[in-house]
C-alpha cells in the first residue's frame, strides 16, 4: 500500500510506530437521550453533572493532570452554568440540547478571551458529552486490542486522557483539539506522542500501520520501510529536539514562555525558556462570583516564581472585558475599547490592589526570581502613570505596560508611556487586530469575526506601529519584548529582532524550533 502523509499539530515530542485503534463516538447513546418526548428533568441533570464532577475529583492522578481534573470539576459545580441549563430547559429545550447550549455558551466566553483561554474551550465540549453520556446510562464497554496500539479518535476528554495506560497506548491522534488543550497537556505529561487536528484521519482504519511524529505534527499511514528506518536511526525526532535544546549557542534575543497556569512551568523549562514573558492571570478569576483572595493568588504566583528561580517572570494583571462577564467588575470606558484592558482595573481599584499585593507577597517569598508586573492594553500616558504608581506603592520593582492599540504608538504618547514605566511588552494579537480594524471577539452566533493570520502582523501598517514602539523604547534604554502569537513565527521574529526587540515570548512547545530558526 502506498504511503500517505497526513498533517496535524504535534504535542510534545517523540515518535511512535504501531497499529491504529479507531475509537467510535458514543453517538447512539447521545441520540437516544436527545429523542423528542424523552424528557429528562432538572434533578437528573444536576445529579449527572455532580456525578461527573465527583468522578473527575476521584481520578487517581497527580501533578498537571490532577490540576486539570479539579479545574473541570469546578466548572461542573458552577451554579451559574447550572442556571443556564435550567433556563434552557424552562424554555422547552431537551436535556441534551440544554446542556450543549449552556456548555457552548461557557466555551464561547473562553474563546472570546483569546489565546490560552480560547484553547481551553474544547474541554467544555468533552464535559457536555460526558454529562450526556452519564444521563444516557452506561455505554457498552470498549474492547481495546491486547497489543499496544495508537489511539485514533475524533477527540479525547481530559478524563480519558488521564486514564491512558502508557504501557498499552503508543501515541494518540485526534481530528479535533488544539495542542494546548487540557487533554493535550495531560497526554504530554504522560510522555506520549500526540498529534491533534489531523487532516485526513478518516483514511485511518483500526489495524492501519501508522508512524506518528509528534514533534513535526506528522502521521505516515502505511509508512515505507525507508521511512521506518529513517526514524529508527540517530536522526529521529527525539534526538533532534535534544540537539536543539543542547545547542548551547545563545539565541540573538531572550526567549521566554507564555503561560496561563503555574502547572505549565516544567514544560517551559524543559523547552529551554529563559523565563516567562507573559503569565496570563485570567484563569484565577474566570467563572468566579468573587475575585480570588490574596491568599489564593499568592499560592499560584508563588508556585510560579519558585519554578523560575534565578530567572525573569512577567506577570500580566487581570485582562478581562465585559464580553467575558465577571459579576464583581464595574464597567469602564466607551467606544471600541470599552471594558477592555487596564481601564477596567483602574475602575475597580480594590481588585487591582489585591492582585498587586499578592504579587508583591509572592516576590518577597521568592526573592531569587525577578518578578516583572505589567498591565494589559494601556490607552493613555495618564493610565500608565496611575498603574505605575499603584504597582510601586505595592512594593513591586519592575513595572510595565502592554502596547496593544494603535493610538498609543503616536509620537508624543509612546514616549510619555515609556517614561512612566520600566519596560514595554507589545501584544501583537490585539495590536494587529485593531490596526487592521478587525475584532477578536466571537459574535453571538458563535461565528468568529475578523480572525487574522500570523503573517498579517508583518503588514507595513502594523510593522510601522511596532517599529515606533521599539525605537522609542530603545532610545529610552528600556527593555521591549513581543509576547503575541507572532513572536513564534520565525519570519516575524527575525523582523522584530532587526527592529530592536530584546525578548520574544511564545508558547513553550514552539521555543526549540524558534531558537533553531533564529540561529540558522
- Chain residues binding Mg ion by CB under 5 A are 404, 427, 430
Contact 265, 304 (CB under 8 A): yes
165-168: long-range contacts at Cβ-Cβ below 8 A with a sequence spacing of 24 or more?
A: 166/190, 166/191, 166/192, 168/144
Number of alpha carbons in the 13 Å side-chain half-sphere of residue 124: 22
> Smallest distance from the beta carbon of 264 to Mg ion, in angstroms?
18
Least Å distance, CB 477 to ligand PEP, is 24
Going from the C-alpha of 47 to that of each of 41, 74, 365, the distances in angstroms are 10, 15, 42
- Sequence-ordered strand ranges (E) for 123-266: 149-153, 169-174, 194-196, 209-213, 218-221, 254-259
DSSP 8-state assignment for residue 442: B
Which of 8, 10, 12, 114 is in the footprint of ligand PEP by CB under 6 A?
114
Phi, psi of 39 (to 5 degrees): -75, 135
Q: Is 406 in the site for ligand PEP (CB under 6 A)?
A: no
Phi-psi region of 290 (alpha: psi -120 to 50; beta: other; left: phi over 0): beta
Comparison of 217 and 376: residue with beta carbon closer to Mg ion? 376
Closest CA to 387 of 365, 366, 408, 402: 402
Q: Can you tell me which of 390, 483, 504, 511 binds ligand PEP, judged by CB under 6 A?
A: 483
Cα–Cα distance between 292 and 297 in angstroms, integer?
6
17 is catalytic: no
3 state DSSP class of 385: helix
The stretch among 168-176, 200-208, 358-366, 422-430 that binds ligand PEP (CB under 6 A) is 422-430
Exactly one of 182, 230, 433, 441 is catalytic; name it: 182
Sign for the pseudo-dihedral over CA of 483, 489, 491, 492: negative
Q: Which residues pair with 402 in a beta bridge?
A: 425
Task: Report the residue number, 300 or 319, with the smaller CB distance to ligand PEP.
Answer: 319
Q: Which is nearer to ligand PEP, 130 or 280 (CB)?
A: 280
Nearer to ligand PEP, 223 or 260 (CB): 260
The grid coordinates of residue 115 equal 489565546
Q: How far is the CB of 115 from ligand PEP (least distance, A)?
A: 4
Q: Of residues 218, 428, 488, 508, which one binds ligand PEP by CB under 6 A?
A: 428
- For 141, the grid coordinates are 464497554
Least separation in angstroms between residue 373's CB and ligand PEP is 15
427 belongs to the binding site for ligand PEP (CB under 6 A) = yes
Measured CA to CA, the distance from residue 500 to residue 487 in angstroms comes to 13
Q: What is the DSSP letter of 138?
A: P
**Which residues within the stretch 319-358 sit at the binding site for ligand PEP (CB under 6 A)?**
319
Q: In the set 430, 456, 489, 502, which binds ligand PEP (CB under 6 A)?
A: 430
Q: Are strands 312-316 and 503-506 parallel, antiparallel or unpaired?
A: unpaired
Q: Which is nearer to ligand PEP, 94 or 456 (CB)?
A: 456
Minimum Å gap between C-beta 427 and ligand PEP is 3
Question: CA 415, 419, 424, 429: dihedral to nearest 10 degrees?
Answer: -40
Nearer to ligand PEP, 129 or 343 (CB): 343
Q: Which stretch binds ligand PEP (CB under 6 A): 391-399, 426-434, 472-480, 494-502?
A: 426-434
Q: Out of ligand PEP, Mg ion, none, which partner does residue 312 contact, by CB within 5 to 8 A per kind?
A: none
- Residue in the structure block whose three cell numbers are 450543549: 100
Could you tell me where the beta strands, DSSP code E, fall in 132-217?
149-153, 169-174, 194-196, 209-213
**Residue 193 near which of Mg ion, ligand PEP, none (CB within 5-8 Å, type-dependent):** none
Q: Is 278 in the site for ligand PEP (CB under 6 A)?
A: yes
How many C-beta neighbours within 10 Å does residue 353 have?
Answer: 16
Q: Which of 18, 158, 484, 512 binds ligand PEP (CB under 6 A)?
A: 484
433 is catalytic: no
Question: Of 114 and 272, which has the nearer Cβ to ligand PEP?
Answer: 114
The set of cell numbers assigned to 417 is 508611556
Collapse the DSSP code of 340 into the 3-class scheme (helix H, G, I; strand E, B; otherwise coil) and give the result: coil
Q: Which is nearer to ligand PEP, 370 or 404 (CB)?
A: 404
Choosing from 17, 88, 441, 483, which is the catalytic residue? 483
Selected from 108, 120, 280, 398, the binder of ligand PEP by CB under 6 A is 280
Beta-sheet pairing, 480-482 with 370-375: unpaired
Q: Which residue in the set 115, 177, 217, 267 belongs to the binding site for ligand PEP (CB under 6 A)? A: 115
Q: Which stretch binds ligand PEP (CB under 6 A): 5-13, 151-159, 179-187, 425-433?
A: 425-433
What is the pattern of x (binds ligand PEP, CB under 6 A) and - over residues 432-451? Answer: --------------------
Which partner in Mg ion, ligand PEP, none is near 123 (CB below 5 to 8 A by kind)?
Answer: none
Shortest Å, Cβ 323 to ligand PEP? 12
CB of 267 to ligand PEP, least distance (A): 18
Separation between Cα atoms, residue 518 and residue 272, nearest integer Å: 14
Just list the catalytic residues.
Answer: 182, 483
Residues of this chain that bind ligand PEP (CB under 6 A): 114-115, 278, 280, 319, 404, 427-430, 483-484
Amino acid at each position: 500500500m502506498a504511503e500517505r502523509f497526513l498533517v496535524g499539530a504535534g504535542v510534545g515530542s517523540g515518535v511512535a510506530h504501531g497499529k491504529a485503534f479507531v475509537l467510535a463516538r458514543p453517538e447512539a447513546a447521545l441520540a437516544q437521550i436527545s429523542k423528542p418526548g424523552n424528557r429528562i428533568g432538572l434533578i437528573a441533570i444536576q445529579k449527572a453533572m455532580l456525578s461527573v464532577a465527583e468522578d473527575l475529583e476521584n481520578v487517581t492522578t497527580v501533578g498537571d493532570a490532577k490540576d486539570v481534573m479539579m479545574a473541570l470539576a469546578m466548572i461542573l459545580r458552577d451554579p451559574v452554568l447550572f442556571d443556564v441549563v435550567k433556563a434552557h430547559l424552562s424554555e422547552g429545550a431537551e436535556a441534551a440540547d440544554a446542556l450543549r447550549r449552556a456548555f457552548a455558551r461557557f466555551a464561547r466566553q473562553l474563546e472570546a478571551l483569546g489565546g490560552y483561554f480560547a484553547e481551553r474551550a474544547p474541554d467544555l465540549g468533552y464535559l457536555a458529552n460526558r454529562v450526556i453520556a452519564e444521563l444516557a446510562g452506561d455505554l457498552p464497554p470498549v474492547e481495546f486490542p491486547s497489543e499496544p496500539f495508537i489511539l485514533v479518535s475524533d477527540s479525547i476528554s481530559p478524563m480519558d486522557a488521564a486514564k491512558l495506560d502508557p504501557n498499552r497506548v503508543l501515541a494518540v491522534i485526534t481530528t479535533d483539539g488544539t495542542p494546548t488543550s487540557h487533554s493535550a497537556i495531560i497526554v504530554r505529561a504522560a510522555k506520549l506522542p500526540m498529534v491533534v487536528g489531523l487532516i485526513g484521519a478518516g483514511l485511518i482504519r483500526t489495524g492501519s500501520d501508522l508512524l506518528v511524529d509528534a514533534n513535526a505534527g506528522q502521521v505516515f499511514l502505511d509508512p515505507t520501510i525507508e521511512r521506518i528506518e529513517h526514524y529508527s536511526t540517530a536522526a529521529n525526532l527525539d534526538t533532534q529536539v535534544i540537539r536543539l535544546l543542547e545547542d548551547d549557542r545563545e539565541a540573538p534575543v531572550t526567549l521566554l514562555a507564555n503561560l496561563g497556569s503555574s502547572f505549565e512551568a516544567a514544560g517551559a523549562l524543559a523547552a529551554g525558556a529563559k523565563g516567562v514573558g507573559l503569565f496570563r492571570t485570567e484563569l484565577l478569576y474566570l467563572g468566579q462570583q468573587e475575585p480570588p483572595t490574596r491568599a489564593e493568588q499568592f499560592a499560584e504566583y508563588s508556585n510560579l516564581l519558585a519554578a523560575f528561580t534565578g530567572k525573569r517572570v512577567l506577570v500580566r494583571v487581570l485582562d478581562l472585558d465585559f464580553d467575558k462577564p465577571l459579576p464583581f467588575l464595574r464597567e469602564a470606558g466607551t467606544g471600541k475599547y470599552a471594558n477592555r484592558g487596564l481601564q477596567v482595573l483602574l475602575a475597580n481599584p480594590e481588585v487591582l490592589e489585591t492582585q498587586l499585593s499578592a504579587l508583591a507577597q509572592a516576590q518577597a517569598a521568592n526573592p531569587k526570581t525577578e518578578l516583572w508586573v505589567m498591565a494589559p492594553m494601556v490607552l493613555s500616558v495618564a493610565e500608565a502613570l496611575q498603574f505605575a504608581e499603584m504597582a510601586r506603592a505595592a512594593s513591586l520593582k519592575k513595572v510595565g505596560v502592554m502596547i496593544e492599540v494603535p493610538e498609543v504608538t503616536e509620537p508624543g504618547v509612546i514616549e510619555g508611556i515609556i517614561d512612566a514605566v520600566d519596560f514595554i511588552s507589545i501584544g501583537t494579537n490585539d495590536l494587529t487586530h485593531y490596526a487592521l480594524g478587525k475584532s477578536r471577539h466571537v459574535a453571538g452566533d458563535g461565528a468568529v469575526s475578523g480572525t487574522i493570520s500570523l503573517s498579517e502582523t508583518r503588514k507595513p501598517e502594523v510593522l510601522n506601529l511596532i517599529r515606533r514602539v521599539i525605537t522609542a523604547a530603545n532610545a529610552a534604554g528600556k527593555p521591549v519584548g513581543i509576547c503575541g502569537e507572532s513572536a513564534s513565527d520565525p519570519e516575524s521574529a527575525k523582523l522584530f529582532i532587526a527592529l530592536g526587540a530584546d525578548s520574544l515570548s511564545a508558547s513553550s512547545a514552539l521555543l526549540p524550533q524558534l531558537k533553531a530558526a533564529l540561529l540558522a
